[in-house]
């Protein structure tokens, strides 16, 4: 049950922690492009095996590619290389993708079969990376916006000091907590053979789309943000953008449901239930 995380950031480390709790004797490789000696020491002390992109030769039956495409024009090739060279072909390969590739932007509903667009460098490499994953027989998961109590768009809107944004207040955002995203990845890695077909694609969020304005209103219910003022969104009260995710496919296939069932519920009641570990700080 050895596991390799390519891109051991906030999501990848959460996956590693979950995997170690399930399989304490498994070898777990954490691969990054940046060399941070302090972080590597922390990982070793926790029982993980840090590896660098420059000298990595490790392989595993279970591989997660969760590195972001930022400043990497060969991103899709790196994903393809990981699927063909770092994954043994046994177990499962999971690529963490993004729901930002959809064409829909007028508040409609999308699922795995909805139209996508490759109009930016980011969306182009993400779609190419998905294709490489599926052709290799792996699983690509398009996530909604990832958040924690102190990470996500809410933190920028409420603590940037700007007070005003040109976005539409009633535009839809689809969110999923980092902890739940890690649980989805583990569920996909361990998916039963009855649903593990060649080349799987899933779209995942908590299933409760929420507007920008409501994100901010929900956030100030959390003590960390109680003194923040909701910013003004100037995009027009009568206009709607964004999209709503239909994530029923993965809920059905993997018999999975999020622990944090909505952003509003998390900020009102569940913010102290996040995974807490020193390994999650300074690892992105």
CA distance 2 to 193: 19
The torsion angles phi and psi of 180, rounded to 5 degrees, stand at -70, -35
Q: Which CATH number fits domain 3-280: 3.10.450.50, 3.40.50.720, 3.40.190.10, 3.90.1150.10?
A: 3.40.50.720
Reading the block at residue 282, the tokens are 């300074």
Q: What is the pLDDT of residue 283?
A: 46
Q: Which residues contact 122 (CB under 8 A, 6 or more apart)?
A: 69, 100
Q: Which DSSP category does 22 fall into?
A: H
| Domain locations in the chain as residue ranges | 3-280
pLDDT along the chain (284 residues), means of 10: 95 97 97 79 93 88 95 92 95 96 96 94 95 95 97 95 92 97 96 69 96 97 95 91 95 91 97 90 50
Tokens of 47: 């029982």
Distance CA 86, CA 58 (A): 7
Return phi, psi of residue 89, to 5°: 95, -10
Helices 178-189 and 10-22 pack at an angle, to 10 degrees, of 50
The CA distance from 140 to 132, in Å, is 10
What's the confidence (pLDDT) of residue 284?
40
Distance between CA atoms of 211 and 240, rounded to whole angstroms? 9
Backbone angles phi, psi at 92, to 5 degrees: -160, 150
Contact 165, 100 (CB under 8 A): no
> What is the rounded distance in angstroms from the CA atom of residue 193 to the CA atom of residue 224?
44
Q: How many CB atoms lie within 10 A of CB 260?
A: 23
């Amino acid at each position: 049950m050895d596991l390799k995380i390519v891109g051991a950031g906030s999501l990848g480390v959460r996956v590693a922690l979950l995997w170690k709790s399930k399989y304490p004797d498994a070898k777990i490789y954490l691969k990054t492009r940046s060399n941070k000696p302090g972080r590597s020491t922390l990982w070793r002390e926790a029982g993980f095996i840090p590896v660098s992109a420059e000298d990595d030769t490790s392989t595993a039956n279970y591989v997660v590619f969760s590195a972001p495409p930022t400043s990497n024009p060969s991103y899709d090739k790196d994903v393809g290389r990981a699927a063909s060279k770092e994954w043994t072909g046994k177990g499962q390969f999971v690529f963490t993708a993004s729901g930002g590739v959809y064409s829909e932007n007028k508040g409609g509903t999308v699922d795995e079969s909805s139209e996508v667009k490759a109009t930016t460098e980011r969306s182009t490499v993400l779609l190419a990376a998905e294709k490489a994953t599926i052709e290799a027989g792996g699983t690509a998961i398009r996530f909604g916006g990832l958040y924690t109590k102190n990470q996500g768009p809410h933190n920028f809107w409420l603590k940037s000091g700007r007070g005003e944004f040109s976005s539409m207040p009633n535009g839809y955002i689809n969110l999923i907590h980092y902890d739940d995203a890690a649980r989805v990845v583990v569920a996909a890695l361990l998916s039963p053979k009855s649903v593990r077909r060649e080349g799987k694609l899933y779209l995942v969020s908590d299933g409760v789309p929420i507007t920008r304005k409501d994100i901010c209103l929900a956030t100030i219910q959390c003590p960390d943000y109680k003194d923040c003022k909701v910013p003004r969104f100037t995009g027009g009260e009568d206009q709607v953008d964004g999209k709503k995710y239909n994530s029923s496919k993965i809920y059905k296939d993997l018999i999975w449901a999020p622990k944090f069932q909505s952003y509003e519920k998390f900020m009102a009641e569940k913010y102290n239930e996040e995974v807490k570990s020193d390994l999650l700080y300074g690892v992105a």
